[in-house]
Amino acid sequence: MIKHAHGKKPKSILATDLDGTLVGSRTAVYDFNRHMIKNMNNFLLVYITGRVFASAWQLITKENLLYPDVLITDMGTEIYIAPHFGLDQGWEQRMRSAWDAARVQNLVQGLEGLQVREIRSRFRLSLHMDRVVSNNTLLRLHKAVDRAELPVKIVPVSAGAVDLIPVCAGKGLALCYVQERCQISKEQTFVCGDSGKDLSMFIKGFKGIVVGNARPELKNALKFKTREVYFSKSYYASGILEGLKKYGAV
């Protein structure tokens, strides 16, 4: 079971994206940190990011973020556990058995309009799409994935970029794994995000907090889920706090 670095079982999970959600305003982070330190025994703090581990860690130190209890990186393909931030072996095993890097690379080779971006993640292939033909390219990629019957899924990253990751990975599923291992209920699990890349966290039955500065794509995708999602007016970390207060969690 995943516990606090100091050994106690927390009551709730606070899981947040970094760029554009927790990170964006330094004064808001300062305020957020103060609140979290005061409520430290209540929360398991989870950061979930598309960044690779080294880059996430750089951001944590540069922006004076609190050290998390769990750090989920690479779009939900790697899970690191405090205090030593070693890889969670159970999750690692799942990713290894689902991912065949050579076959995934073969799959995209020869598909027109797609270029592999620098490979930095072990269980993720990031692709650039030629913008002019991106709709067709995406369709061809979907077809190629179906044909190959590989257990991978296509995750949109931005207008001209997608990731291929194991079908059992992703921000939402990685958080479900952590939440189950902590034996904390979904009602006591709060998720915070600002963009379409966070959407998978908001459709798993957790309590959602969309920060005020969130992109329209996330707000639109969740506009009919007002019972499970709170739309903060405040931006960045202040938006997280506003949501937690609304839910009565702080």
Chain residues that interact with Mg ion, rule: CB under 5 A: 17, 19-20, 194-195
- Minimum distance from residue 135 beta carbon to Mg ion (Å): 24
Nearer to Mg ion, 60 or 107 (CB): 60
**What are the phi and psi torsion angles at 220 (to 5°)?**
-65, -45
Nearer to Mg ion, 181 or 215 (CB): 215
Nearer to Mg ion, 20 or 166 (CB): 20
Q: Using CB atoms, what's the residue nearest to Mg ion?
A: 20
CA angle 192, 195, 198 (to 5 degrees): 55
- Minimum distance from residue 55 beta carbon to Mg ion (Å): 13
- Minimum distance from residue 23 beta carbon to Mg ion (Å): 8
- Minimum distance from residue 19 beta carbon to Mg ion (Å): 4
- Residue 140 makes CB contacts below 8 A (sequence gap 6+) with 111, 112, 113
Nearer to Mg ion, 198 or 242 (CB): 198
**CA 220 remoteness from chain centre:** 19
The alpha helices in the chain, defined as continuous H runs, are 26-38, 53-62, 89-98, 101-108, 134-148, 171-182, 199-202, 216-221, 236-246
Nearer to Mg ion, 14 or 107 (CB): 14
Nearer to Mg ion, 113 or 243 (CB): 243
| CA-to-CA dists, residue 194 to 66, 170, 221, 240, 246, angstroms | 20, 16, 12, 10, 18
- CB 8: neighbour CB atoms within 10 A? 12
- Hey, what's the torsion of the CAs at 187, 192, 198, 204, to 10 degrees? 0
- Minimum distance from residue 115 beta carbon to Mg ion (Å): 24
- Minimum distance from residue 195 beta carbon to Mg ion (Å): 5
For residue 147, what are the β-bridge partners?
A: none
